Amino acid sequence: MFDFEKLEVYKRSKELNKEILEFLRKNKQIDSYLRDQLYRTSLSIAINIAEGSGKFSKTDKRNFGSLWM
């Protein structure tokens, strides 16, 4: 298990992604551009958390938010 997988914020971001995917499956009438944006945005949250946890310097970690301070 990677360190970021233990973070509550990472776990919640994965839950949010699942909820958004389920919402998009149920609501086919949503514009395809908006569907794509929602999907990529929800996925991006978890990816950014994982990327931020791999940074080692304080400056690098600070760029990914107060989570690391």
Residue 64 in contact with residue 48, Cβ under 8 Å? yes
Structural domain count of the chain: 1
Are the C-beta atoms of 17 and 45 separated by less than 8 Å? Answer: yes
| pTM of structure | 0.74
Query: Which domain covers residue 42, as residue numbers?
Result: 10-18+32-47
Which pLDDT does position 13 carry in this prediction?
Answer: 95
Residue 59 lies in a domain: no
SS3 for 4-69 is HHHCHHHHHHHHHHHHHHHHHHHCCCCCHHHHHHHHHHHHHHHHHHHHHHCCCCHHHHHCCCHHHC
Per-residue pLDDT of the chain (69 residues; tens, 9 = 90+): 788 899 999 999 999 999 999 999 999 999 999 999 999 999 999 999 988 887 666 676 666 655 544
Q: Does residue 37 sit within a domain? A: yes
The pLDDT of residue 3: 86
